[in-house]
A and B are shown apart, each in its own frame.
Chain A
Amino acid sequence: MQWFLLLLFVVTFSVHVAISQDDTRGIVQGNIRSADDKQPLFGATVLLQGTVYGTTTDQNGSFIMKNIPQGSYTLTVSMIGYKRVLQSVSIQRGDNPLLAIELEPTVIQTAPVIVTANKHEQSLEEVPVSVSVVDDRTLAYRNAVTVDEALRYVPGVNITQSQVNIRGSTGYSYGVGTRVLLLVDGSPLLTGDTGEIIWESIPTVSIERIEIVKGAGSALYGSSALGGVINIITKRAAEHPETRLRLYGGVYEMPRYSEWQWSKDPRPFSGIMGTYQQHVGEWTLGFGGSRTVNDGYKRNDFWKRWNVWSRVGYDLSAFQSVDISFNLLDQRRANFLYWKDLNHALEPKDDQLFQRVQSLRWSLSGNYRYFVSSGIFATAKLSWFRSRWDDNIPNRFDPYGSNSRSDFLIGELQMNYRPASHHMVTAGINGNFNNVDADTIFGKHSSIGSALYLQDEIAIPDSIRLILGGRYDYQKVEGIDRFSQLNPKLGLVYSPTGSTSLRASLGSGFRAPSIAEAYTTTDAGGITILPNLDLQPERSLSIEIGGMHTFGSTVTTDLALFRNEFWDLIEPSFAADGYVHFQNITRARITGGEFVLRLNALKGLLPAQVSYTYVYPEDLTKNDILKYRPRHLVYVSLQGILPPFTLGADFRYISRTERIDDELVFSGTVPDGDQRVEIYVTDVRVSAELRFAGLSITSTFHVNNLFQYYYTDFIGNLGPTRNYVLSVETVFQ
């Protein structure tokens, strides 16, 4: 870690001394209100375009930014549920006139500005692919303890245990290799050994919003972006100090059937999370942490976690900033692999009862931003993800259990060049190094890679936007043949009117085999898994056409049709030697459509969203349906706002998974493993928000799985029983 900190210090210091400081600075401040009811807007984002300056409004709708060099700027104000406002401001020395800005409500209940689709800020209507956004209010509203819980009602997304599927892309890959790329502030966060997402390593209290881009995204982001990209944007401190505290506690109800009642008492869970953020001169400081415990509704499925989070930023000048983020997860958990049988659906087999896994994971990242001129913006990123875990699960190769330590380092330089207001060029260079030390299960191996990418985006005229780009990746995993991959991208957006935008896109993706897929040596449930050094990368091609239309101020519709082709999908499978190996065996095609309807009746007091996603997941190798891909997803979310109260209900229907791993049933590994049904789950909540003397308190009572519906979210794993949660969040400013 020492050399990493030294490098950041050198970059910070050298840039700092190179910049001559301007003493003639001013203050820009103002108040943001809703145009319809004139109420102050809390949490609106205020940015000075082309500079590093930005903040959010406090509970009175006020904002202030200090030490701004004199000059003319464009101020951008945005907030979910409102139209973005751009306003010219002229900053003079000292105080400046108070700005009063009103935002018009819009039916689009999502972020007006996103960054993930094309690696720069732009409006949702300007991107050629389907994008969904989950903001921090939704995370708190649903009491999402981990990020995957917040994704359960995103159109086209479903979670199989903790593995995320975007429009059926991932299926279930046994925790070794995700087909959806996770980014935190634009930097990948996948484990070096298994290439998987560790949702619990990201504390939800640190999140400003989550952007979900659907379809292949390797043309900008490289490996793992076969089915989509999820980018978590963390919070930046406002000008005023802010302390945020959330507590929750709940219980799982006892199961209806006596056969499933393995515990005498309902199983509890609880947590406390807090953050503190402050702007001090040129510094932005943010710290947070959480302690969460869950006794588990299933026997031997408990966990205990500590999370620590910090983000420290420093504005080197009006046009340069650097920040460093740190995340730490310390977790102890038990191991529930499969149920004993359907009569003991909440108990594992006896040999799992004392299995434990402990992990310590942390990530450290540095981010340098430089507005070179009004048309050139450069960023440099460096990130390091250390993952270590130990278990006591014996296998024939190691009777005392397995352990693994991996270090994944990524560096990237990116430049955005805007030669004209309607033209943007994005280019970058990327390098990565991965080292795994895992005794018997994965061995000691490393990988190295690099990439170049370039994208051109031009509006001709303003109603037509054309995006053309590509990325060339080179990757070498120790022991496996090196490979290179060129991923092109083509996008088109046509906006004939202000309320309609049509889009079309074509992009390709790939995923390099993880070290775990190449080298796993273990056995589980009587099945022996051995290495395969002939693995090749998986590849995909995504095509999408879609359109969004807004009817008046209350209804927005979005329709997308898509086809995703996949080659060489890696799956564990019996080979000719009789052992299981990860192999490139599946050629697949997923065709489908997605419809999203958003309503904003009674001036925003009755927001609602309905989405339906249909996928037809074909396994072209076996002429069958792909495993673990339900065909139908229906999500309905309703809210009724009667200040200070909010009532809410979410419903999800997921059709029965048609194909699973029959071998696990046949071999007796999972007795009754073929027992599964469609999913109907309803979650409801009521919350009350009170504000006084600079203190905001929001209390919410949740009932999840209201109708106590029993289903499997994976083979031999019953989904959560009905549970009751009380959460309280306070904000001090």
Chain B
Amino acid sequence: MFAGCHEGLAPASASPTVSSYGIRGVITFKNWPPADSVHDLRLGILQNYPVQDIPNEVLQGHARFTDRLPYGLDSVSYTLMLAPLPPGRFPFVGVAQQFGPNIQTDWRVVGIYYAGGDTTKPGAVDIPPDSVVPSININVDFQHLPPQP
């Protein structure tokens, strides 16, 4: 009777061509700073790298992040599903810390995924459909931060 033809919102993965894919691994931590300087801590994956404006990449939907990572642990395992981003090559995986109160500007990279022992540049990850790529491991040493992108 009333506008029944609309169905409203639907899951982003409702399309039959989209399936479960992502990355998983372990993050190890050393030399934690005081808790009041860790406002937030997340693992993120970028579709494009390098980029000039990471917040804009996020707003444009070209990145995915985990939930907030817990403070003070020696290591934590994670799984990050990437939908609605399409599968493919992701050139950057890293851990970012919000070190100050300003949620828009007070961020820095504290750990980067490197592939094949090459620590000169971030390691790219190829993620096929229907696959969660394992062993995307990252070491975070808060006293020895990687080069900032």
Which residues of chain A have a CB within 8 Å of any CB of chain B? 256-257, 259-260, 341-343, 345, 349-351, 396, 526-528, 574, 577-579, 636, 649, 651, 653, 663, 665-668, 672, 675-677, 680, 682, 706-712, 718
Chain B 109-129 per-residue mask, 1 if CB under 8 angstroms from chain A, else 0 = 000000000000000000000
- Within the complex, the shortest CB–CB distance from A684 to chain B, in Å, comes to 8
Among B11, B39, B65, the residue within 8 A (CB) of A528 is B39
Contact A653 B3 (CB under 8 A): yes
* A260-B11 in contact given A343-B83, A578-B106, A653-B3 (Cβ < 8 Å): yes
Contact B9 A707 (CB under 8 A): no
- CB within 8 Å of A: which B14-72 residues: 14, 35, 39-40, 42, 55, 58-59, 65, 67-68
Contact B7 A342 (CB under 8 A): no
How many residues on the B side are at the interface (Cβ–Cβ under 8 A)? Answer: 32
Contacts of A668 in B (CB 8 A): 42, 58, 65
- Within the complex, the shortest CB–CB distance from A374 to chain B, in Å, comes to 52
Q: How far is the CA of A711 from the CA of B9 in the complex (A)?
A: 6
Contact A663 B103 (CB under 8 A): yes
Contact B13 A680 (CB under 8 A): no
- Within the complex, the shortest CB–CB distance from B82 to chain A, in Å, comes to 11
Residue of B nearest to A708 (CB): B7
Question: Is the C-beta of B149 less than 8 angstroms from some C-beta in chain A?
Answer: no
Contact A257 B103 (CB under 8 A): no
Contact A343 B2 (CB under 8 A): no
Among A343, A526, A682, the residue within 8 A (CB) of B1 is A682
Q: How far is the CA of A345 from the CA of B8 in the complex (A)?
A: 13
Which of B85-93, B94-102, B131-139 is the interface stretch?
B94-102
- Within the complex, the shortest CB–CB distance from B117 to chain A, in Å, comes to 31
Contact A526 B7 (CB under 8 A): no
Residue of B nearest to A258 (CB): B11
* A579-B101 in contact given A343-B11, A345-B9, A649-B1 (Cβ < 8 Å): yes
Q: How far is the CA of A343 from the CA of B83 in the complex (A)?
A: 9
Contacts of B8 in A (CB 8 A): 677, 680, 709-711
Q: How far is the CA of A672 from the CA of B81 in the complex (A)?
A: 14
Residue of A nearest to B10 (CB): A257
- Within the complex, the shortest CB–CB distance from A355 to chain B, in Å, comes to 14
Residue of A nearest to B42 (CB): A668
Contacts of A712 in B (CB 8 A): 9
Contact B103 A709 (CB under 8 A): no
Contacts of A711 in B (CB 8 A): 8-9
Contacts of A651 in B (CB 8 A): 1-3
Contacts of A680 in B (CB 8 A): 2-3, 6, 8
Q: How far is the CA of A396 from the CA of B42 in the complex (A)?
A: 17
Contact A259 B55 (CB under 8 A): no
Q: How far is the CA of A260 from the CA of B10 in the complex (A)?
A: 9
Q: How far is the CA of A350 from the CA of B67 in the complex (A)?
A: 9
* A259-B11 in contact given A528-B101, A680-B2, A707-B4 (Cβ < 8 Å): yes
Residue of A nearest to B70 (CB): A351
- Within the complex, the shortest CB–CB distance from B138 to chain A, in Å, comes to 18
Secondary structure at chain B's binding surface: helix, strand, loop or mixed? loop
Q: How far is the CA of A666 from the CA of B55 in the complex (A)?
A: 8
Among A259, A349, A663, the residue within 8 A (CB) of B13 is A259
Contacts of A350 in B (CB 8 A): 67
Q: How far is the CA of A676 from the CA of B8 in the complex (A)?
A: 9
29 contacts between A and B (CB under 8 A): A257-B10, A342-B9, A342-B12, A343-B12, A343-B83, A350-B67, A396-B35, A526-B68, A528-B39, A528-B101, A577-B101, A579-B101, A649-B2, A666-B55, A666-B59, A668-B65, A672-B12, A677-B6, A680-B2, A680-B8, A706-B4, A707-B3, A707-B6, A708-B7, A709-B8, A710-B7, A710-B8, A711-B9, A718-B9
- Within the complex, the shortest CB–CB distance from B98 to chain A, in Å, comes to 7
Contacts of A527 in B (CB 8 A): 103
- Within the complex, the shortest CB–CB distance from B86 to chain A, in Å, comes to 15
Q: How far is the CA of A351 from the CA of B70 in the complex (A)?
A: 11
- Within the complex, the shortest CB–CB distance from A488 to chain B, in Å, comes to 43
Contacts of A672 in B (CB 8 A): 12
Contact B14 A259 (CB under 8 A): yes
Residue of B nearest to A341 (CB): B12
Q: How far is the CA of A67 from the CA of B59 in the complex (A)?
A: 74
Q: How far is the CA of A116 from the CA of B92 in the complex (A)?
A: 63
Among A574, A667, A709, the residue within 8 A (CB) of B6 is A709
Extra pairs beyond A574-B102, A680-B2, A718-B9 (17, CB < 8 Å): A343-B12, A343-B13, A351-B68, A526-B39, A578-B101, A649-B1, A649-B2, A663-B103, A666-B59, A666-B104, A677-B6, A677-B8, A677-B9, A682-B1, A707-B3, A709-B6, A711-B8
Contacts of A709 in B (CB 8 A): 3-4, 6-8
Contacts of B1 in A (CB 8 A): 649, 651, 682
Contacts of B42 in A (CB 8 A): 668
Contacts of A677 in B (CB 8 A): 6, 8-9
Contact A710 B9 (CB under 8 A): yes
Among B40, B55, B83, B103, the residue within 8 A (CB) of A574 is B103
Contacts of B83 in A (CB 8 A): 343
Q: How far is the CA of A484 from the CA of B84 in the complex (A)?
A: 53
Contact B103 A675 (CB under 8 A): no
Contacts of B4 in A (CB 8 A): 682, 706-707, 709
Among A257, A349, A676, A706, the residue within 8 A (CB) of B11 is A257
Contacts of A667 in B (CB 8 A): 103
Residue of B nearest to A667 (CB): B103
Q: How far is the CA of A676 from the CA of B10 in the complex (A)?
A: 10
- Within the complex, the shortest CB–CB distance from B110 to chain A, in Å, comes to 16
- Within the complex, the shortest CB–CB distance from A524 to chain B, in Å, comes to 11
- Within the complex, the shortest CB–CB distance from A244 to chain B, in Å, comes to 32
Q: How far is the CA of A651 from the CA of B6 in the complex (A)?
A: 14
